[in-house]
Structure 1
Amino acid sequence: MHPFFKSLLITCHAAALCLSAARAEQPNFIIILSDDQGYNDLGCFGSPNIKTPNIDQMAKEGRKFTSFYVPSPVCSPSRAGLLTGCYPKRIGMEKHVLFPKDNKGLHPEEVTIADMLKARGYATACIGKWHVGHRKPFLPTNQGFDSYYGIPYSNDMVHPDNKGKYRGSQDKLWLNQDEMVKLWNTPLMQDEEIIELPVNQRTITRRYTDKAIEFITANKEKPFFLYLPHSMPHIPLFVPEDAYDPDPKNAYKAVIEHIDAEVGRVVDTVKQLGLSENTYIIYTSDNGPWLWFKNHGGKADPLREGKGTTYEGGQRVPCVMWAPGRIPAGTETDAIASTIDLLPTLAQLTGSPAKTRGEIDGTDISPLLLGTEKSVRDEFLFYTSNGKLEGLRQGDWKLLMKKGKAELFNLAKDIGEQQNQAKEMPEKVSHLLNRMRKLDEQINHQIRPQGKIAG
Structure 2
Amino acid sequence: MKCLWNLLLLTGVMSGLVLESVSAEPKQAAASHHQPPNFIVIFCDNLGYGDIEPFGSTVNRTPCLNRMAREGRKFTHFCVTAGVCTPSRASIMTGCYSQRVGMHWNPRDGQVLRPISPYGLHPDEITVAEILKDKGYKTGMIGKWHLGDQPPFLPTAQGFEYFYGIPYSDDMTQAVGKRLGERFEGNQWPPLPVMLNDKVIEAGVDRNLLTKQYTEKAVEFIEQNQDQPFFLYFPQAMPGSTQKPFSSEAFRGKSKNGPWGDSIEELDWSTGQILDKLVELGIDQNTLVIWTSDNGSPMARNMASTERGTNNPLHGRGYTTAEGAFRVPTIMWWPKTIPAGTVCEELTTTMDLLPTFAHLSKAKVPTDRIIDGHDIRPLMVGKAGAKTPYDVFYYYAMDQLQAVRKGPWKLFLPLKNFSRHPHFKKGESSKPLLFNVVTDISSEHNVAEQHPEIVKELMILAEKGRADLGDTNRPGANQRKPGKIENPLPPTLETTSRN
TM-score (norm 2): 0.81
- Per the TM alignment, residue 56 of structure 1 is displaced from its structure 2 partner at its CA by 1.2
- Provide closer, same or farther for how the CA distance between residues 141 and 76 of structure 1 changes in structure 2, counting only shifts above 3 A: same
- Once residues 204 and 357 of structure 1 are traced to their aligned partners in structure 2, the CA distance between those partners, rounded to angstroms, is 39
How far apart are residue 439 of structure 1 and its match? Answer: 3.1
Which of the residues 191, 196, 217 maps onto 2:202?
A: 196
1:454 aligned onto 2:486: yes
1:272 is aligned to 2:280? yes
Query: Among 350, 354, 359, which residue is 1:343 paired with?
Result: 354
Match of 1:287 among 278, 290, 295: 295
Say whether the 8 Å CA contact 1:82–1:342 is kept in structure 2. yes
The whole-number CA distance in structure 2 between the counterparts of 1:439 and 1:310 is 16
C-alpha change, 1:140 and 1:131, in structure 2 (3 Å) is same
Provide Cα deviations, 1:372-405, integer angstroms capped at 9, x if missing partner: 2521323443333323111111011110115252
Instruction: Please state if 1:216 is matched with 2:222.
Output: yes
Answering whether residue 104 of structure 2 is matched by residue 94 of structure 1, we say yes
Q: Distance in 2 between matches of 1:319 and 1:158?
A: 29
SS of alignment partner, residue 230 of structure 1 = strand
Matching residue's letter, 1:407: L
SS of 1:163's equivalent in the other structure is helix
> Which 10-residue stretch deviates more, 86-95 or 375-384?
375-384
1:260 aligns with 2:268: yes
Shift in Å, 1:257: 0.5
Pairwise CA RMSD: 2.2
Change (3 A) 1:380 1:203: farther
Query: 1:56 maps to which residue?
Result: 66
Query: What is the distance in 2 between the residues matched to 1:54 and 1:143?
Result: 31
Partner of 2:249: 241
Tell me, in whole angstroms, the C-alpha distance in 1 between the residues paired with 2:83 and 2:399: 10
Cα offset for 1:357? Answer: 5.7
Moved more, 107-116 or 150-159: 150-159
Indicate which of 321, 345, 359 corresponds to 2:332: 321
Output one character per residue of 1:188-225: Cα deviation in whole Å (capped at 9) or x when no partner: 11111111111111111011011111111000110000
SS in 2 for 1:64: strand
Q: 1:109 aligns to what?
A: 124
Q: CA deviation at 1:445?
A: 1.4
2:90 corresponds to 1:80: yes
Mapped partners of 2:283, 2:414: distance in 1: 48
Preserved contact between residue 123 and residue 225 of structure 1 (Cα < 8 Å): yes
| Number of residue pairs matched by the alignment | 420
Q: Which residue of 2 aligns with 1:150?
A: 165
Answer yes or no: is the 8 Å Cα contact 1:158–1:165 preserved in 2: no
- Which of 433, 437, 441 aligns to 1:411? It is 437
Q: Distance in 2 between matches of 1:184 and 1:301?
A: 37
Which one has the bigger helix percentage?
A: 1
Instruction: Give the Å deviation of 1:427.
Output: 2.3
> Residues 39 and 231 of structure 2 are in contact (CA less than 8 Å); yes or no, is this contact kept in structure 1?
yes
Instruction: Please list every run of 5 or more consecutive structure 2 residues that lacks an aligned counterpart in the other structure.
Output: 1-29, 106-110, 182-188, 417-430, 470-475, 488-499
* Structure 1 stretch displaced more, 183-192 or 252-261: 183-192
Give the Å deviation of 1:184: 9.6
Cα 1:113–1:242 change in 2 (3 A) is: same
CA contact (8 A) 1:23 1:223 kept: no
For residue 355 of structure 2, give the secondary structure of its aligned residue in structure 1: helix
Q: Aligned partners of 1:85, 1:52: CA distance in 2, in Å? A: 30
Q: Which SS does the other structure have where 2:432 is aligned?
A: strand
Stretch deviating more after TM superposition (411-420 or 332-341): 411-420
Identical-pair percentage: 41
Q: Which amino acid aligns with 2:273?
A: R
Deviations along 1:26-50, whole A, 9 cap, x unmatched? 1000000000010011111111111
Partners of 1:288 and 1:313 within 8 A in 2:
yes
Larger CA deviation: 213-222 vs 405-414: 405-414
User: Does the 8 Å CA contact 1:251/1:295 hold for their aligned counterparts?
Assistant: no
Distance in 2 (CA, whole Å) between partners of 1:247 and 1:23 is 41
The Cα of 1:24 is off from its aligned counterpart by 5.1
SS in 2 for 1:448: coil
How far, CA to CA, are the matches of 1:83 and 1:357 in structure 2? 17
Q: Is the 8 A contact 1:288 1:314 kept in 2?
A: yes
Q: 1:248 to 1:269 in 2, by over 3 A?
A: closer
For 1:41 and 1:194, locate their aligned partners in 2 and report how far apart those are by CA, in whole Å.
Answer: 33
- Cα deviation, residue 164, structure 1: 3.2
Identify the residue that residue 149 of structure 2 maps to in structure 1: 134
**TM-score, normalised to structure 1's length?**
0.88
Q: Deviations over 1:268-291 (max 9, x none)?
A: 111100001100000000000011
In the TM superposition, what is the alpha-carbon distance from 1:452 to its structure 2 partner?
A: 0.3
Equivalent residue, structure 1, for 2:341: 330
1:411 Cα shift?
A: 1.5
User: Could you tell me which residue of structure 2 aligns to residue 385 of structure 1?
Assistant: 397
CA distance in 1, matches of 2:452, 2:306: 40
Counterparts of 1:357 and 1:240 in 2: how far apart (Å)?
46
